[in-house]
């Protein structure tokens, strides 16, 4: 995806999901490293402050987010997925989002 297209998507995500510091419960999954990492990294941050490297490393961790946290941080994963089209280790697909709709 070209940079101008990514910038357009970023602006649309900002309009749809205004970046605000998240003060709610990020994850209750204290039994796994991924849940702990999500809580430590995301608490108090806005979605546009999440480092791309964190999203890359935690690309499969969205189901561990609590509902409000998912709404707050999904744009970071969506944007990173578009920035890395072709990199299957980061790409967010239907198989990642579909289980979230059952929460």
pLDDT at 42: 98
- Considering only CA atoms, which of 28, 68, 31 is closest in space to residue 47? 68
pLDDT at 94: 42
Please report, in tens digits, the pLDDT of each residue of the chain (103 residues total): 577 888 998 999 999 999 999 999 999 998 999 999 999 999 999 999 999 999 999 988 999 999 999 999 999 999 998 888 765 544 455 445 445 544 4
pLDDT at 102: 47
Q: Residue ranges per domain, the chain?
A: 3-96
């Amino acid at each position: 995806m070209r940079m101008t297209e990514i910038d357009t998507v970023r602006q649309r995500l900002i309009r749809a999901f205004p970046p605000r510091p998240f003060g709610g419960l990020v994850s209750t999954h204290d039994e796994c490293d991924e849940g702990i990492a999500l809580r430590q990294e995301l608490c108090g941050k806005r979605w546009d402050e999440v480092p791309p490297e964190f999203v890359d490393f935690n690309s499969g961790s969205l189901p561990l987010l609590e509902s409000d946290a998912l709404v707050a941080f999904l744009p970071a994963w969506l944007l990173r997925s578009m920035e890395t089209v072709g990199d299957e280790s980061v790409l967010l697909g239907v198989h990642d989002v579909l289980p979230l709709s059952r929460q």
